[in-house]
Chains A and B, each alone.
Chain A
């Protein structure tokens, strides 16, 4: 069965009466790399928190594959949607990275010998090779964030949600997370990421949702979304560096990566 995400007419109102999402319809086919951008308070986190049942729609539906999230527990949806929170310090608890990363699979009922293999693989992917016995609190923030990432990767869910994966990461960390996103997509898994890093977004995703005031105001490939300057302005988002450069240079074609830029440069030379 295909693990598409189908959001239909989603409205979410907080108990306080504040409407955080004002009617969103979006479908994310399995294997897509989707980035969500916009200002704080635009509703990005509220939207993705509907995918694993943290929030239940006030109106409309959210479906993960053949499951309607309505009435399903977060722990149950965890088998389909892995969610990496922004702040690793709000989840790291174990005395060793092995236990920390093994926690999710254990909760999902994965057999012990398989957990060990998954932990090793998730750590390798997150740039933490051989750190099984380290205490998470002896690590830097960027490493702790990658432990949190590994702890969700080890759950091997068909959908992975990343909330601000690159904040607190240095250049190496950002590059590594880009690779993780590509690998997951290559395995047919869906990646949904909230991000403020537009360069990261342009280079690593198939599709970008621009959000403002609880609505999707632009939706398309990075090249399409980043050429919607009106929407970007409403969302207080700046286009990626090379896109700003090609605009300044007066080039007509959008540029999403160094390769594309140099490619265009060549045709002009």
Chain B
């Protein structure tokens, strides 16, 4: 993604004002930012829905897996990029009456042979630990279960790039960890994963690179630990973990040396404070 500007149709201001972003195969990239910073817009631009379905004017260039999004059809983009959107309820197709068929829906549309489809559904179900839900109606699930089904439904399509917009919003701590573990597994298999999330502790543990989206541009990039040590995190609306806050306060009160690398996760903090 280079120099991407975008404004919604009939809007008087740009949501993206010059985004440069690159994600490699096998990488997990986290993106954080304040509410209203344009995260959902950025997610849709990577996945081709902007500008293909939303309209509006996108300038700059978006290239995914060698495909120039502006010149491609949405179907071509969609075959390479998967998008898990925020609200799981609206990702359930409504066409299917069991979770098992719901997960297979995308493959049915692509005309994948039945035997292969069945194997892939079972594999994805096992990976996400939702096989006991297979015969339930997708609408009879809790928000968290629905979210896992939505992720499974996209994972099964084996996209080269997987974009996830707050995929753990309805999950408890163990469910969220499971999703992040799976994301790392996908990356190990060569998928590029872009994950919009504000659970900073999980991003520190699972993302290879972290970007901050603020005012329509990438304001800061680096490892999660570098980025989240930046004093501007509050200004960007990204916030900080209590580990970081405690270390900052301790440095102010000269309880820790000023050169201490600020901790983000429990592991970091343990190392910093056990001295």
Do A and B assemble together? yes
Chain A residues contacting B255 (CB-CB under 8 Å) are 262, 265-266, 269
Q: Is the CB of A143 within 8 A of B36?
A: yes
Chain A residues contacting B242 (CB-CB under 8 Å) are 199, 240-242, 245, 258, 261
Chain A residues contacting B270 (CB-CB under 8 Å) are 245, 248-249
Cα A249 to Cα B272 in complex, Å, equals 11
Interface of A is mostly: helix
Q: Which of A69-77, A92-100, A165-173, A185-193 contacts B (4 or more CB under 8 A)?
A: A165-173
Q: Is the CB of B237 within 8 A of A262?
A: no
Please give me the residue from chain A that is nearest to B272 by CB atom: A245
Q: Is A39 an interface residue (CB 8 A)?
A: yes
Q: Is A196 an interface residue (CB 8 A)?
A: yes
Cα A269 to Cα B254 in complex, Å, equals 10
Please give me the residue from chain B that is nearest to A174 by CB atom: B239
Interface-centre pick from B173, B253, B273 (highest chain A CB count, 10 A):
B273
Q: Is the CB of B266 within 8 A of A171?
A: no
Q: Is the CB of A248 within 8 A of B35?
A: no
Q: Is the CB of B172 within 8 A of A39?
A: yes
Q: Which residues 204-258 in B have Cβ within 8 Å of A in the complex? A: 233-234, 237-243, 245-246, 249-250, 253, 255
Q: Is the CB of A265 within 8 A of B250?
A: yes
A167-B169, A174-B239, A262-B250 known; A248 and B266 CB under 8 Å?
A: yes
Q: Is the CB of B172 within 8 A of A173?
A: no
Cα A248 to Cα B266 in complex, Å, equals 9
Please give me the residue from chain A that is nearest to B36 by CB atom: A140
Q: Is A141 an interface residue (CB 8 A)?
A: yes
Q: Is the CB of A40 within 8 A of B142?
A: yes
Q: Which residues 213-266 in A have Cβ within 8 Å of B in the complex? A: 236-238, 240-242, 244-245, 248-249, 258-259, 261-262, 265-266
Chain A residues contacting B173 (CB-CB under 8 Å) are 236-238
Q: Is the CB of B35 within 8 A of A142?
A: yes
Please give me the residue from chain A that is nearest to B32 by CB atom: A170
Q: Is A130 an interface residue (CB 8 A)?
A: no
Residue-wise interface mask of B (50-65) relative to A, using a CB-CB cutoff of 8 A (1 in contact, 0 not):
0000000000000000
Q: Is the CB of B35 within 8 A of A143?
A: yes
Q: Is the CB of A245 within 8 A of B269?
A: yes
For chain A, the count of residues having a C-beta within 8 Å of the partner chain is 34
Contact of A249 among B33, B233, B273 (CB under 8 A): B273
Q: Is B26 an interface residue (CB 8 A)?
A: no
Cα A269 to Cα B257 in complex, Å, equals 13
Q: Is B96 an interface residue (CB 8 A)?
A: no
A143-B36, A261-B246, A262-B255 known; A241 and B241 CB under 8 Å?
A: yes
Residue-wise interface mask of A (61-81) relative to B, using a CB-CB cutoff of 8 A (1 in contact, 0 not):
000000000000000000000
Q: Is B274 an interface residue (CB 8 A)?
A: yes
Chain B residues contacting A143 (CB-CB under 8 Å) are 35-36
Cα A45 to Cα B36 in complex, Å, equals 28
Q: Is the CB of B246 within 8 A of A242?
A: yes
Q: Is the CB of A141 within 8 A of B35?
A: yes
Contact of B240 among A168, A171, A236, A259 (CB under 8 A): A171
Shortest distance from the beta carbon of A222 to any chain B beta carbon, whole Å: 13
Chain A residues contacting B90 (CB-CB under 8 Å) are none
Q: Is the CB of B243 within 8 A of A245?
A: yes
Cα A39 to Cα B239 in complex, Å, equals 25
A170-B198, A171-B239, A240-B242 known; A266 and B36 CB under 8 Å?
A: no
Interface-centre pick from B144, B172, B240, B255 (highest chain A CB count, 10 A):
B172
Interface-centre pick from A142, A170, A266 (highest chain B CB count, 10 A):
A170
Shortest distance from the beta carbon of A179 to any chain B beta carbon, whole Å: 15
Q: Is the CB of B201 within 8 A of A241?
A: yes
Cα A248 to Cα B240 in complex, Å, equals 20
Q: Is the CB of B237 within 8 A of A258?
A: no
Shortest distance from the beta carbon of A253 to any chain B beta carbon, whole Å: 14
- A sample of 7 cross-chain residue pairs with beta-carbon separation below 8 angstroms, ordered by A number, consists of A142-B36, A170-B198, A171-B237, A237-B173, A240-B242, A258-B246, A262-B253
CB within 8 Å of B: which residues of A? Answer: 39-41, 140-143, 167-174, 196, 199, 236-238, 240-242, 244-245, 248-249, 258-259, 261-262, 265-266, 269
> Nearest 5 CB-CB pairs, A to B?
A171-B239, A142-B35, A140-B36, A241-B242, A170-B35
User: Given A140-B36, A172-B234, A262-B249, list of 16 further CB < 8 A pairs?
Assistant: A40-B144, A40-B172, A143-B36, A170-B237, A171-B198, A171-B233, A171-B239, A174-B239, A196-B172, A241-B266, A245-B246, A245-B269, A258-B249, A261-B246, A262-B250, A262-B253
